[in-house]
Amino acid sequence: MSGVTVFGLAAAAAVGLGLYGLITNPQPLRKIIAFNLLGSGVFLLFGVVGRRGAAAGIGNDPVPQALVITGVVVAFSATALAIALLLRLLQTAGSTTLSSGAPPGAGSDPSGG
Amino acid sequence: MSFIGDMVTVAAVSAGAFFFLAGTVGLLRFPDTLTRLHALTKADNLGLGLVVLGLLPQTESLRDGAKLVSIWLLGLLAGATVSQLIARTARQNETAG
Amino acid sequence: MSIATVFEIVLAAVVMGLGIWTIAVRETYSATVGFVAYGLLVALIWVRLDAVDVALTEAAIGGGLGGVLLLGAAARLRDADAMAAEAPGRAMRASAAALSILTATALAGAVLLLPDPAPTLAPAAVANAWATSLANPVTNVLMAFRAMDTMLEKVVLLLAIIGVWSLASDAAWGGRPGPRHEADPYGVLVFLARLLPPIGIVVGIYLLWTGANHPGGAFQGGAILASMWLLAIMAGLTDTPPVSSRWLRLILIAGPALFLAVGLGGLWFGAAFLAYPAAQAKPLILGIEVAMILTIAATLGLLLAGVPERSSRR
């Protein structure tokens, strides 16, 4: 069992953990964190595949590395957009619950938007 | 020469790891924020400094060594600033609450 | 089983423990802190996987900027924590657990059954490196062999920032994001914000420059520049610019626009879209990267500054 395989198994576990947290945690911020955990597990799987493709004097296949770098930046921007939505929801509705039972307009929105 | 360098590395990095361990134990066991900060700064300054000192014999050029030392200095700067800010907020919360 | 493998097993175990704690802990603030620590340790895993470029990106963007984003949101949501919705019932948790275990097992099986002469594109990347005369294979792939992906990613960043800006209320439309920060002008934060940005700017530009031949690149450098800008904003030394300002919008489109222009130039004068003539490949790539680092720094900083909240007319 080499180190790379251990990392691959840890990545698979991270994907499972992230999926569980995304489904069961009721608060949106925890869902966002779990989603990021899921994403990092997927990126680690890319890294494991790349590490096994080490050849021609490079330690890790550069194509999966480039895909993961792109993925990290895109995941960050998606998280930023999600958090902006979440904070705006807090501002307009007064709570961050996603269930439809919350009374609309329960919070104050002084800027009238 | 390289044998002495390796001995210095092993000794210094082990000492640095010991300080990190002590800092973590302090973080977990001390009762309040200010004492925990005290423990953490020991890990930051001494532990990181000893690890960097231990890695210096392994570098190949003076420039790599200078980069390592500058990492330690930046870590010191960030740690000192953050500790002061956390401590001031903790003190304000203490007197307010 | 060598020392390195033991270290890697311990590292993977610690990372897994942090992941479990992040999902299971009760308070949201603790989960955020746990996730930041998780991100930084994952950067160590990337170093062990010999992917230093990705480790830099994960530490800077995933751990650093992502951590600031999540901690800020957790702080603002701390009061809303008490009115959290009810936790899902036992049946939902059991089926979610079953689904997660199934997914994780399938992926673990895939990892263990990966083909043994592993397919790889590394020899192809090295064989074609003459086209750009850059020594860092990841930069080659990002900027030349799969430049289309990178260009489209810049557009995705632009879409994200448009999405964030469009959430502004009518009164604050086109205004300044975030609150006006104020700090004691003789305090430690302002001292740090005066001392660190010059160093950070040099490090960021160095990362861009050295990305041609060593691990680094525009994304990592741009993240460091963005964090220096945010530090100055958080210390109150400068205010966030109004999002309707023209120079800000020009900076935001400079990266993708230059990329697109070079791509169309490749179509017009050369073989295909985004084809670089071999003689001018390196200056073209560096020129695109300079525009990219400015756009990335501005975009990441603005994504963290958030939704416009203050009218620009004040």
In chain A, which residues have their Cβ closer than 8 Å to the Cβ of C176?
A: none
Q: How far is C-alpha C217 from the chain's CA centre?
A: 12
Asked if the Cβ–Cβ distance from B85 to C199 is below 8 Å, we say: no
CB-based contact (8 Å) between C70 and chain A?
A: yes
Chain C CB within 8 Å of residue B35 CB: no
Determine whether the interchain pair A81/C303 forms a contact, defined as Cβ–Cβ distance below 8 Å: yes
**B43-67 tens-digit pLDDT:** 778 999 999 999 999 998 999 999 9
pLDDT, position C80: 65
- Rounded distance between C-alpha atoms, residue A64 and residue A44, angstroms: 10
Q: How far is C259 from chain A (nearest CA, A)?
A: 16
- Residues 6 or more apart whose CB falls under 8 angstroms from that of C294 comprise C222, C251, C254, C255
Nearest residue in C to B81, CA atom: C188
Please determine, for residue B16, whether its predicted confidence score (pLDDT) is greater than 60: yes
Question: Is A26:C87 a contact under the CB 8 Å cutoff?
Answer: yes
**Buried-state track C250-283, b at ≥16 Cβ within 10 A, e below 16:** ebbebbbebbbebbebbeeeeeebbbbeeeebee
CB pair distance less than 8 Å for C92 and A24:
yes
Q: How far apart are CA C163 and CA B68, in angstroms?
A: 41
CA–CA min distance C191, chain B (Å): 9
pTM value > 0.90: yes
Q: What are phi and psi of C308, to 5 degrees?
A: -60, 130
Q: For residue C26, with 0-12 CB atoms within 10 Å meaning exposed, 13-18 middle and 19 or more buried, which class applies?
A: exposed
Give the DSSP letter string of A26-40.
-SHHHHHHHHHHHHH
B77 CB neighbours in chain C (<8 A) are: 192, 195-196
Please spell the DSSP secondary structure of C137-157, one letter per residue: HHHHIIIIITHHHHHHHHHHH
What pLDDT, on a 0 to 100 scale, did the predictor assign at position C259? Answer: 92
Give the count of Cβ contacts less than 8 A between chain A and C.
304
Contacting C residues, span 252-281, partner chain B, CB-CB under 8 Å: none
The radius of gyration of chain B from alpha carbons, rounded to an integer in Å, stands at 16
Residue A106 has pLDDT above 50, yes or no: no
Most confident of A88-97, A104-113, C179-188: C179-188
Contact C192 B74 (CB under 8 A): no
pLDDT band at B33 (very low <50, low <70, confident <90, very high): confident
Across the interface, do C85 and A26 touch by the CB < 8 Å criterion? yes
Q: What's the rounded Cα separation, in Å, for the pair C280 and C305?
A: 38
B57 secondary structure, DSSP code: G
- Cβ burial of A108 (10 Å; 0-12, 13-18, 19+) is exposed
Distance from CA of B93 to the nearest CA of C (A): 15
pLDDT at C55: 96
Interface check C10 vs B, CB under 8 A: no
Catalogue all structural domains in chain A, each as residue range(s) with its CATH number.
3-93 (1.10.287.3510)
For the record, the structure tokens of B66 come out as: 């200078």
The answer to whether the CB atoms of B77 and C196 lie below 8 A apart is: yes
Identify the sign of the CA torsion C141, C142, C144, C148: positive
Say which of B74, B77, B85 has its CB closest to residue C189: B85
Q: Please list, in sequence order, all residues whose beta carbon lies within 8 angstroms of the beta carbon of residue A16, skipping any fewer than 6 positions away.
A: A41, C100, C101, C103, C104, C105, C107
Indicate the DSSP class of residue C177. Answer: E
Contact assessment for residue C230 and residue C305, using Cβ atoms and an 8 Å cutoff: yes
Question: Are C188 and B84 an interchain contact pair (Cβ–Cβ within 8 Å)?
Answer: yes
Going residue by residue through chain C (314 aa), what tens digit of pLDDT does each one get?
A: 788 899 999 999 999 999 999 999 988 889 999 999 999 999 999 999 999 999 999 999 999 999 999 999 998 888 765 555 667 788 989 999 999 999 999 999 999 998 888 888 888 888 888 888 888 999 999 999 999 999 999 999 999 999 999 999 888 888 899 888 888 888 899 999 999 999 999 999 999 999 999 999 999 999 999 999 999 999 999 999 999 999 999 999 999 999 999 999 888 887 888 888 878 888 999 999 999 999 999 999 999 998 998 887 65
How many angstroms separate the CA of residue C108 from the nearest CA in chain A? 5
Position A43 scores a pLDDT of 96
Tell me whether C57 touches chain A (CB under 8 Å): yes
C69 touches chain A (CB under 8 A): yes
Query: Which of C39, C97, C146 has the CB atom closest to A20's CB atom?
Result: C97
Residue A56 makes CB contacts below 8 A (sequence gap 6+) with C122, C123, C125, C126, C127
Q: Say what the pLDDT of residue C203 is.
A: 94
- Closest-CA distance, A11 to chain C, in angstroms, reads 8
Q: Which of residues 72-131 of C touch A (CB under 8 A)?
A: 73-74, 76-77, 80-81, 83-88, 92-93, 96-97, 99-101, 103-105, 107-108, 110-112, 114, 118-123, 125-127
- Give chain A positions within 8 Å (CB) of C50: 51, 54, 59-60
Neighbours of B85 (CB within 10 A): 15
The set of chains that have 3 or more CB pairs under 8 A with B is C
Q: What is the pLDDT of residue C82?
A: 54
Distance CA B12, CA C38 (A): 27
- Nearest CA distance, C308 vs chain B (angstrom): 27
